[in-house]
């Protein structure tokens, strides 16, 4: 009986070489757009203390309640694979005393994240996010700047049918008062709500705006809106963000039903969606989190940022057909294929290949024990420009373009290839 074939865990995937180019392109565009705008790359650990997410993301969120990969590290400490990047980056901001740097501090990241969700198209258990966080300023220009950066990134990678929705959640105080008002409204219409929403009236009433069932939707259509309950200051902040987006030519829709799945948001929240995606239409989203750094034990430091799913960006983009597929990687040219007719020449072939690579050539050697005919076929398959054939008798060089083959001095092989390549 042969052993059972193992597969990647459900909701995870391999990024194969032919899929790497599309991902690399997103990363390249991100760097090109973010770094001149003052954003420095940050990488935090894959796992963190569980408490960071419990305190940072919020106990009542789906992410913390049911989606975290949490484990005991064997020393009695509870660790969690990061489900998101904002809380870890705020932790790093505090830990490294970044509040002493000129503010705001601008950071960007591209990392893998982990959520135990039901896998479906565009939803994975390990996925990648690109994101930015700007910490240390409550200027509405920060909100607008980060939004413009995501709009520009999506534009640069060719994401199709993108729509931006924005809203404001106001201050925690306004939100608390509104929450009570919304709860009262939900309780009044209890019988018309889905059981799911009914169960969460106490814990997370705002999520009722996300519900799909017609009964709940009807109730929510008549529900009070947080956007109408903002303090003057928060309303002014939101108006300023909108004015700046107008100035930057970024189109948006104000959507007072917009809710985000994480608890740390204050004031501005936003989401980019693409109609090119299915049910999981959110390409990227984020907002302001003015209380998060303090909640994690740091100094008062307002922040704002977003994250976008790499797989969803690729899915929504013109030149990438599938969540984890992309255009074929353009392989670098093979200038030299080193063949040998006799095993005693193998070490020499190895040496020549290493030498050729150090000289900056694209070089490959025979590794599969093929006959000379097979080796020439392989050289052709990889598109080699020259083939060096090492034998007991000496060395020969075959020009794969002209088909011409001639004997050469072994020590001259590299020089000949370099010259031949230069002439091409």
Helices assigned H by DSSP within 261-412: 292-295, 310-316, 346-358, 372-381
CA 18 to each of CA 14, 222, 319, 346: distance values in angstroms, whole numbers, following the listed order? 11, 50, 13, 30
Minimum distance between the CB of residue 398 and ligand HAM, rounded to whole angstroms?
49
Separation CA 95–CA 87 (nearest Å): 12
CB nearer ligand HAM, residue 267 or residue 312: 312
CB nearer ligand HAM, residue 133 or residue 263: 133
CB nearer ligand HAM, residue 174 or residue 307: 307
Separation CA 424–CA 421 (nearest Å): 5
Separation CA 338–CA 298 (nearest Å): 60
Minimum distance between the CB of residue 419 and ligand HAM, rounded to whole angstroms?
51
CB nearer ligand HAM, residue 215 or residue 261: 261
Q: For ligand HAM, which residue has the nearest CB? A: 309
Minimum distance between the CB of residue 334 and ligand HAM, rounded to whole angstroms?
36
CB nearer ligand HAM, residue 156 or residue 400: 156
Minimum distance between the CB of residue 114 and ligand HAM, rounded to whole angstroms?
9
Q: In what order do the strands lie in the sheet with 70-72?
A: 47-49, 78-81, 70-72
Minimum distance between the CB of residue 203 and ligand HAM, rounded to whole angstroms?
18
Site of interaction with ligand HAM (CB under 6 A): 84-86, 115, 117, 123-124, 127, 129, 131, 133, 261-262, 282-287, 289, 305-309, 311-312
Any idea what the Cα angle at residue 125 is, between residues 9 and 55, rounded to 5°?
135
Minimum distance between the CB of residue 36 and ligand HAM, rounded to whole angstroms?
21
Tokens describing residue 59 = 């106990």
Question: What residues does 132 pair with on adjacent strands?
Answer: 108, 306
CB-based contact 129:307 (threshold 8 Å): yes
CB nearer ligand HAM, residue 58 or residue 362: 58
Question: Judging by DSSP bridges, how do beta strands 394-399 and 405-408 pair with one another?
Answer: antiparallel
Tokens 């995937």: give the residue: 13
CB nearer ligand HAM, residue 142 or residue 262: 262
Tokens 């599938």: give the residue: 322
Minimum distance between the CB of residue 320 and ligand HAM, rounded to whole angstroms?
14
């Amino acid at each position: 009986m042969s052993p059972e074939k193992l597969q990647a865990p459900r909701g995870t995937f391999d990024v194969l070489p032919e899929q790497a180019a599309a991902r690399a392109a997103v990363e390249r565009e991100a760097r090109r757009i973010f770094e001149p705008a003052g954003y420095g790359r940050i990488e935090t650990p894959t796992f963190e203390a569980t408490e960071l997410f419990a305190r940072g993301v919020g106990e009542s969120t789906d992410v913390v309640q049911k989606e975290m990969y949490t484990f005991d590290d064997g020393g009695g400490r509870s660790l969690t694979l990061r489900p998101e990047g904002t809380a870890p980056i705020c932790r790093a901001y505090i830990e490294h005393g970044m509040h002493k740097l000129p503010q705001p501090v601008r950071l960007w990241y591209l990392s893998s994240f982990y959520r135990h969700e039901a896998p479906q198209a565009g939803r994975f258990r390990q996925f990648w996010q690109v994101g930015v966080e700007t910490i240390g300023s409550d200027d509405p220009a920060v909100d607008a700047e980060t939004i413009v950066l995501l709009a520009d990134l999506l534009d640069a990678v060719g994401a199709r049918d993108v729509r931006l929705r924005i809203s404001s959640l106001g201050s925690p105080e306004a939100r608390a008062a509104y929450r009570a008002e919304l709860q009262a409204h939900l309780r009044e219409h209890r019988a018309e709500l889905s059981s799911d929403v009914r169960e969460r009236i106490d814990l997370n009433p705002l999520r009722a705006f996300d519900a799909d069932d017609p009964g709940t939707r009807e109730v929510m259509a008549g529900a009070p809106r947080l956007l109408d309950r903002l303090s003057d200051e928060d309303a002014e902040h939101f108006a300023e963000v909108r004015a700046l987006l107008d100035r930057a030519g970024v189109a948006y829709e104000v959507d007072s039903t917009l809710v985000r799945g994480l608890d740390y948001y204050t004031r501005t929240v936003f989401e980019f969606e693409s109609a090119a995606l299915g049910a999981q239409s959110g390409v990227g989203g984020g907002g302001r989190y003015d209380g998060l750094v303090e909640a994690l034990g740091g100094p008062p430091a307002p922040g704002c940022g977003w994250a976008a799913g790499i797989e969803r960006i690729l899915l929504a983009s013109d030149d990438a057909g599938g969540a984890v597929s992309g255009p074929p990687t353009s392989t670098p040219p093979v200038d030299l294929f080193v063949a040998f007719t006799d095993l005693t020449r193998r070490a020499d072939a190895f040496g020549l290949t290493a030498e050729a690579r150090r000289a900056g050539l694209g070089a490959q050697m025979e590794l599969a024990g093929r006959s000379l005919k097979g080796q020439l076929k392989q050289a052709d398959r990889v598109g080699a420009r020259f083939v060096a054939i090492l034998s007991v008798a000496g060395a020969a060089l075959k020009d794969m373009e002209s088909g011409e083959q001639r004997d050469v001095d072994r020590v001259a092989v590299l020089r000949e290839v370099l010259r031949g390549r230069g002439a091409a």
